[in-house]
Amino acid sequence: MRHFKIGPLDVILLVLLAAGVGYLAYVVEARMNYTWRWDAMPKYLAYYDEEKGRWVANFLLQGLFATIRISILATILGSVLGLLMGLARTSRSGLLRLLGTGYVELVRNLPPLVLVFIFYFFFSDYIAQVLGLDDAVRHAPDWLQNVMRVVLAEPSRFTAFLSAAITIALYEGAFITEIVRAGIQSVEYGQWEAAYALGLSRWQRLRHVVLPQAFTRIVPPLAGQFISTIKDSSIVSVISVSELTFQGMELMASTYLTFEIWITVALLYFSMTFTLSMLARRLETSLARRLG
Amino acid sequence: MKAWRFIQVTALIGAIMIFVVNSAQAESVRNQLAQESTIEQVLQRGVLKVGMDTFVPWAMKNTKGQLIGFEIDVAKQLAQDLGVEVEFVPTKWSGIIPALLTGKFDVIIGGMSTTTERNLKVNFTVPYNYTGQAIVANKNLAPGLSTLEDFNRDDFTVAARTGSTAAEAARKFLPKAKLVLFDTEPAALQEILNDKAHVFVSSAPLPAFQAIEHPDTLYLPFKDTITKEPTSFAVRKGDVDTLNIFNNWIRRKELEGWLQERALYWFNTRDWADQVE
């Protein structure tokens, strides 16, 4: 940790910042017609259930958990896809390069909202129906349904959840592909030559020499992409997946506590992404230390 | 002569056979239709999937996150009478008809007004309730007005929800005013509370409730609704079995007085208000 020194400029900036926040508060308070009811908010996060005799997460926290589950699933799927496609983009085979390029250009150049709709209607209407996914989930044994409820989503909303997670994975995967490609290509050509001179096969060169070096370079952009995944997951609220944004909007429709809910939702997103930022920074410093 | 007779008999037998085969086919087509009807699938699945969107006091969440409201009561009672479980699928209003058509749920019970335009895409049951669009106005921007015609000015702005009959009513009755549409009711309401819109159009009794809640900003120019609209369940087209069962259920519940009693509770009282806040 470097030490902060507060100079006169910092003081001026801080005062300006405080004045800005104060002015905003004044505008909302005096100019806009809005009665704040923050006291109503905590119970929408969690409440004490007297029948069960324990604290239960209410819809905002449930939405937060759903967002976390979607983000984790989408990140795993997106990373696998991104790694494979990134390798394809840097492969010597023209066909694989074409595949990778086609995927990246197609997905990166479509608005995610359009992608979500296309995939939702296509996936859950054709693919999921042909596979009989809905019925299979509904008739799954109880223990499996319980596992799914904890790890993924309510059985009744399973296909929507899955198509949401896959769409986000597809979308993020395109960016991860480019990050992986950039990482691999940033490794100096001399490294490849040196590994070649040692008599390593192409796969061995990749695995033992190039990828480890590429990995340390792609950690910062990759972390940024994972943070993006959390934020981008809010887009699936349009297909009524009950993640944080959707839950917030539903609650607003019931209670009309517009500002309180948006601010709480923003804080919840921030708490997730900021935690991830901190973890990423730690990983970066520890990697840097280990590799000297 | 004999040959003629033979031809006659053959023709007769042929006709009979065609008739028998035809009616057998018709029978199997009928059976197949019945098997594939939504209601049959609901019974087999043991779950009635109901599409709805949050809208006070039709369907809303109480403080424990459970759905309550007029539609919720109706759907629960319907499922109970069918002997199945009910499952609610909250869906954004703008995409609710496509979601029904693509089988995301079995029926829309969501205070949907029957319009001819919608009717071309879905089948509606007989009405189970009647509603109308009402307006609430901004005190600061448009004070003291009392007829609908007063609001039809090109320097006025109307806020409503996308894809709602409120938006249609605004287009029809206030054609000169500028219409701004929002995805949800609270967003549209916020616009008028922020002095950015002169009028807010929505299904009664929501405008009246809002006028009571924000007396400093909002007022009701007149008590009546500007439209009268039947609200019905929406089902996929060509499914007579399902339609028949729902229609008769609605007629029964109406004659029993149950529907009116529930409507009275949700629309004319605020007894439920403490469950929401």
Confidence of residue A40 (pLDDT cuts 50, 70, 90): confident
Here the tokens at position A95 are 């066909």
Cross-chain CB nearest to A253 (options B87, B185, B216): B185
Task: Provide the strand spans (E) within B151-216.
Answer: 157-161, 178-182, 199-203
Tell me which amino acid residue A137 is.
Answer: V
Dump pLDDT digits (tens) for A129-179.
777 777 788 778 888 888 888 888 877 778 888 889 999 999 999 999 999
Dump pLDDT digits (tens) for B116-146.
999 999 999 999 999 899 999 999 998 889 8
DSSP state of B232: -
- B102 contacts in A (CB within 8 Å)? 121, 124-125
Question: B234 and B193 in contact (C-beta within 8 Å)?
Answer: no
Q: In this complex, do A253 and B55 lie within 8 Å of one another by their Cβ atoms?
A: yes
Residue with structure tokens 């949907």?
Answer: B112
SS3 label, residue B22: helix
How far the first Cα of chain A sits from its last, in Å, is: 18
Q: In this complex, do B89 and A258 lie within 8 Å of one another by their Cβ atoms?
A: no
Mean pLDDT throughout B225-254? 94
Residue with structure tokens 């007085």?
Answer: B257
- A246 contacts in B (CB within 8 Å)? 90
Q: Which of B108, B189, B193 to mutate to test the interface with A (most CBs of A within 10 A)?
A: B193
Here the tokens at position B184 are 């949800």
Establish if A59 touches chain B: CB-CB under 8 angstroms.
yes
Q: What is the pLDDT of residue A131?
A: 79
Q: In this complex, do A238 and B92 lie within 8 Å of one another by their Cβ atoms?
A: yes
Domains of chain B are 42-131+229-269 (3.40.190.10), 133-219 (3.40.190.10)
Q: What is the pLDDT of residue B1?
A: 57
Dump pLDDT digits (tens) for B204-226.
888 988 898 888 889 999 988 99
Chain B nearest-CA distance from A100, in A, is 32
Chain A nearest-CA distance from B15, in A, is 41
Cross-chain CB nearest to B91 (options A33, A129, A240): A240
Chain B nearest-CA distance from A258, in A, is 7
How far the first Cα of chain B sits from its last, in Å, is: 93
Establish if A36 touches chain B: CB-CB under 8 angstroms.
no
Predicted ipTM > 0.90: no
**CA-nearest residue of chain A to B48?**
A156
